Structure 1
Amino acid sequence: MRFKNFDYVGASRYFYTFSIILTIAGIICLAAFGLNYGVDFRSGSNVDITTSKQLTEEQLKPIFSKINIDEEPDVTPGADRVNVRFHQVLTEPQDQALRAEVLKLDKNASFEVNTVDPEMAKELGQNAIYAVLLSCVGIIIYVSIRFEWRFAIAAIIALMHDAFVVVSIFSILRLEVSLTFIIAILTIIGYSINDTIVIFDRIRENLRFAKLKKHSDLVELVNKSLSQTIARSLYTALSVFIAAFFMLIMGGESIRMFSLAIVIGLLFGAYSSIFIASPLWLLLKGKNVGKTGTAKPSKSQV
């Protein structure tokens, strides 16, 4: 595959447009509907029932009216497993009644109940936000020290783009957000910054020996740097994507949303490093290069 003559900087405008449209749609959807929080982030009880035969949602619905719950739960049936997510914390009598009624349908059924009270749900939500913010701050500090502030700004905007796109898609499609989703977001951030750093490192290396007299020289340098690293970026993304995709289609229900978030994040992370982060650095750096003037020195050129 040859990528030498492709204008990555010129093509980035289409990716910017697509990302802006998706971001706006995500903001509107988040403002109107918010996220579909799982039991980890809101109080309630999550019951996993392992069965010896398949139980349908129609078989389970009459049970919920017998145990006196305020809101009908979300039921996810499977071949030998049923997940029931209650929007309230089950009391001891309700829990016992649920077990007794399910055992009437399948005497070999076993139960695993996870309960989150309101205070714990609030604390988990706050800690998840802190984890994402602290990781972003750490990345900003690292990139600023290793490169320069323009690289840091471009990298963090690309990272926030990747994370927000995944959040937006989950909001638009009303997919469940749980603790595994937060782990997926942190994984995506780590993968994306790794890919971005490789590209930035090549840009910095080429920048040391470049003679920038015009803005077009800087554009050519970025395109050259991307052409030198894009094969590695695509092959790495593809290999990780294949593993994540098969984990999505063959993994269990408990990791399905995690796998889906990883797959989405990999796709957007692969193009954001190339078509978002690098052109954004060019936009910031280009202010130091006039159309006929010379580049102002920076510590990345030292």
Structure 2
Amino acid sequence: MRYNFSFDIVKHRKKFFTLSIVITLVGILTLALFGLNYGVDFKAGTTLDITTGGQAIDKAKVEQIVGEVGFEDIPITVGGELNDRVTIRFDKVLTAEQVNSIEAAFKTAYGDNISKEENTVDTELAKELAIKAFYAVLAASVGIIIYVSIRFEWRFAIAGIVALLHDAFIVISLFSILRLEVNLTFIAALLTIIGYSINDTIVIFDRIRENLRFARIKTFDDLADLVNKSIWQTMTRSINTMITVLIAALCLYILGSTAIQLFSLAMIFGLLSGAYSSIFIASTIWLLLKNKSLGSKKRPTAVTVKE
């Protein structure tokens, strides 16, 4: 008996594959043309966080202060409950004299009640951080492949890692298109997205495996029905989980400080992409891989005809 669905996901798999391929190609193009907007964490530079102790900061005045030191078009972010905190990011390492002159200018403009926090990353440290971030993402991906291969089978591992890379690449592409800053907070969000995405995917995989134990699979249609059935059996759980975490990420983005806004935004992108890939990509990739093994089991045996 065929399972009745309100929407046949497997039947429309080519549409979802096409959409993902198009997004991937656009991402590759934007990365090739524009690259990523690396923050100070991944390139040499200095970040100054200055608090005026309750006095509202005028961004135009800050631009004037920075201009007097010899810097133009510097990223400046004013925040805090009273707009009394400003973050200034420089693409080069400032000398002690330059930092002191900026601090002195702020004291002249806003009084002596000024607090300053300086973060400097030199070239070697920036390279080391970038390499370690890459290794962190790579190690997480390899660990997931090994776990899923042992816990399930290699076909599930391949499907899961494709969906995982799909989610990570979409987030990276969106940050490239929107020219958002990529820093260590972004890497933390990326690793969180990887964990969330594979968790949601494994829930569907576990239901597929459970249904396989009681199913008699003879044709591709039987296998497609089983995958559709498994997806829809876990659909409510997947959507509810995604919405719950998405609400938290939206609240962090809207109500949180500027320090975690990019983290929250990356999480929002990743949550939407993760839910999409878990439901529409991962399971259908496993279906295609499994169908090949199904066909190999049904090869006709040679028959010897006696004359």
Scaled by the length of structure 2, the TM-score of the pair is: 0.91
- Other structure's SS at 1:40 match: helix
**1:100 matched to 2:104:** yes
1:63 positional shift: 1.7
**1:91 matched to 2:90:** no
1:292 positional shift: 11
1:110 positional shift: 1.6
- Other structure's SS at 1:212 match: coil
Cα distance in 2 for partners of 1:14, 1:256 equals 33
AA in 1 matched with 2:100? Q
1:86 positional shift: 0.5
1:138 positional shift: 0.3
Whether contact under 8 Å (1:237, 1:270) holds in the other structure is: yes
Cα distance in 1 for partners of 2:189, 2:88 equals 23
Q: Of residues 50, 58, 61 in structure 1, which corresponds to 2:60?
A: 58
1:19 positional shift: 1.6
- Provide Cα deviations, 1:137-158, integer angstroms capped at 9, x if missing partner: 0000000011111100000000
Whether contact under 8 Å (1:11, 1:275) holds in the other structure is: no
Scaled by the length of structure 1, the TM-score of the pair is: 0.92
**1:266 matched to 2:271:** yes
- Other structure's SS at 1:10 match: coil
Which deviates more, 55-64 or 100-109?
Answer: 55-64
Cα distance in 2 for partners of 1:95, 1:291 equals 70
1:72 positional shift: 4.1
Cα distance in 1 for partners of 2:39, 2:13 equals 36
Whether contact under 8 Å (1:68, 1:94) holds in the other structure is: no
Mark the runs of 5 or more structure 1 residues left unpaired by the alignment.
Answer: 295-302
Identity of aligned residues (%): 57
- Other structure's SS at 2:17 match: helix
**1:112 matched to 2:113:** no
Cα distance in 2 for partners of 1:183, 1:13 equals 33
Cα distance in 2 for partners of 1:24, 1:102 equals 47
AA in 2 matched with 1:120? L
Which deviates more, 17-26 or 255-264?
Answer: 17-26
1:60 positional shift: 1.6
1:122 aligned residue: 127
Cα distance in 1 for partners of 2:114, 2:28 equals 43
1:40 aligned residue: 41
1:81 aligned residue: 85
Task: Map 1:154-173 to 2 at 5 A.
Answer: 154-173=159-178
- Other structure's SS at 2:42 match: coil
1:9 positional shift: 1.1
- Other structure's SS at 2:205 match: helix
1:190 positional shift: 0.3
2:21 aligned residue: 20
1:222 aligned residue: 227
1:109 positional shift: 2.7
**1:212 matched to 2:217:** yes
1:214 positional shift: 1.0
Aligned pairs, number? 291
2:190 aligned residue: 185
Cα distance in 1 for partners of 2:39, 2:221 equals 50
Is the radius of gyration larger for structure 1 or structure 2?
2
**1:10 matched to 2:11:** yes
Task: Map 1:224-263 to 2 at 5 A.
Answer: 224-263=229-268
Whether contact under 8 Å (1:214, 1:292) holds in the other structure is: no
1:290 positional shift: 3.9
- Residues 223, 291 of structure 1: CA spacing in aligned structure 2 closer, same or farther, 3 A cutoff? farther
- Other structure's SS at 2:217 match: coil
Cα distance in 1 for partners of 2:167, 2:217 equals 31
